Amino acid sequence: MNIGFVKSKKENEKRVAIVYDDILKIKNKSSLFFEEGYLNNFGVSDFELRQLGCNVAKREEILKCDVICDPKIGDAEYLPLLNNQIIFGWIHATQNKEITDQLIKSNLTCYAWEKMFENGTHIFRKNNEIAGEASVIDALMKYGSISENLKACILGNGNISRGAQRILNCLKIPYKVYKRKDEDKFKKEVYSYDIIINAILWDVNRKDHIIYLDDLIKFKKNSLIIDISCDHNGAIESSHPTSVDNPIYFVDGIMHYAVDHTPTLLYKDASYSISSEVFKYVDLFTNKKAKENSTLKEALIIENGVILDAEINKYQGRQ
């Protein structure tokens, strides 16, 4: 099987699935197809990829490959052009019925990065840490202050939270971390902070919020909400995803930052971390052995247009 690597057309998305040093580790390089200019941002030319024995072609040709690998494939504009192929990337079908319908219609087989775990640990956890780092850096730049007099809190203690903590530590901004079990305590104390960071993945089956619209009038004046998870109508009722070009908005005087793909702000760090995992699975796909790998087997959410993931069926009411 051949595997195609496409450049994302999502606004300001610069991450790639695999970098030069990891391509060197692939055995079946002749089965790799890269869209023209794939690694230009990393100082690697198409000529250098061809020298390795890889193929470089226009986007239309790449989209004909047996397997399409793209970090933001769930947001890809080309999904309707695919048919009876395999996709490999972040899909996030559970929360998006429209995407799921398209995957079914196109009879696709989908391996979702968000479902890839080894020994109970998400293999792309470093990308999540980078999301925490990039969000805090960018949001504070927009906020206009990195004063040590600021007081911050973080909801969540996972990978995203660790990234956020790393930046706050560097800036010497004091903060408190609230774990999931501390939701009630967080709700009582949140009004005393200048910076509120949401770093938890919201349960799609929950209908409540941790911060409601009516709560905002009780916040400190000139506060900042950094919603890294940025689930629409999720933990924070007033949150909705924003873009790199238009990252902030205000509700009742409270600044909201909710960019939905902040790792692209540190795209080289993110791409190197992604690639360090992706390359391990490339030869499995090209040799038609993906189903023999336990990590990939668990990440198989749709096969030939048939939903295998019970979470999708439950959330979307398909059964």
Pairing verdict, β 86-89 and 109-112: parallel
pLDDT in tens, 128-160: 999 999 999 999 999 999 999 999 999 999 999
List of residues 6+ apart from 211 with CB closer than 8 A: 187, 190, 196, 225, 235, 236, 237, 238
Interval 62-73 mean pLDDT: 97
Instruction: Supply the pLDDT for residue 229.
Output: 86
Tell me how far apart the alpha carbons of residues 247 and 134 are, in angstroms, rounded to a whole number: 12
Q: Is the pLDDT of residue 233 over 80?
A: no
Question: With bands split at pLDDT 50, 70 and 90, how would you rate the model's confidence at 10?
Answer: confident
Q: Is 17's pLDDT higher than 90?
A: yes
Cβ distance 47 to 110 under 8 Å?
no
CA–CA dist 93, 72 (Å, integer) = 12
Residue 8 confidence (pLDDT) above 70: yes
Other Cβ atoms within 10 Å of 198 Cβ, number: 28
Q: Nearest 5°: CA angle at 161, between 159 and 165?
A: 120
Q: Report angle CA 32, 38, 39 to the nearest 5 degrees.
A: 105
Q: SS3 letters for the chain? A: CCEEECCCCCCCCCCCCCCHHHHCCCCCHHHEEEECCCCHHHCCCHHHHHHCCCEEECHHHHCCCCEEECCCHHHCCCHHHCCCCEEEECCCCCCCHHHHHHHHHCCCEEEEHHHCEECCEECCHHHHHHHHHHHHHHHHHHHCCCCCCCCEEEECCCHHHHHHHHHHHHHCCCEEEECHHHHHHHHHHHHHCCEEEECCCCCCCCCCCCECHHHHHHCCCCCEEEECCCCCCCCECCCCCECCCCCEEEECCEEEECECCHHHHHHHHHHHHHHHHHHHHHHHHHCCCHHHCHHHHHHEEEECCEECCHHHHHHHCCC
- One-letter amino acid of 178: Y
The alpha-carbon radius of gyration of the chain (Å, integer) is 21
CA distances from 311 to 217, 274, 294, 314 (A): 36, 25, 19, 5
Hey, how many other C-beta atoms are within 10 angstroms of the C-beta on 143? 19
CA distance 278 to 269: 14
Give the tens place of pLDDT for each residue, 161-188: 999 999 999 999 999 999 999 999 999 9
Band of the pLDDT at 41, cuts 50, 70, 90?
very high
Query: Of 39-43, 125-129, 229-233, where does mean pLDDT reach its minimum?
Result: 229-233
81-125: per-residue pLDDT in tens?
Answer: 999 999 999 999 988 899 999 999 999 999 999 999 999 999 999
Q: In terms of Cα–Cα distance, which of 312, 252, 314 is closest to 101?
A: 312
pLDDT of residue 202: 84
Calpha distance 306→104 (Å, rounded): 6
Position 157, amino acid: N
pLDDT given at position 319: 64
pLDDT higher than 90, residue 313: no
Which residues share a beta bridge with 254? 251
Q: What percent of the chain has pLDDT over 90?
A: 90
Average pLDDT, the chain: 95
At 213, the pLDDT band (50, 70, 90 cuts) reads very high
Is residue 14 predicted with pLDDT exceeding 90? yes
Q: What is the pTM of this model?
A: 0.92
pLDDT of 278 strictly over 90: yes
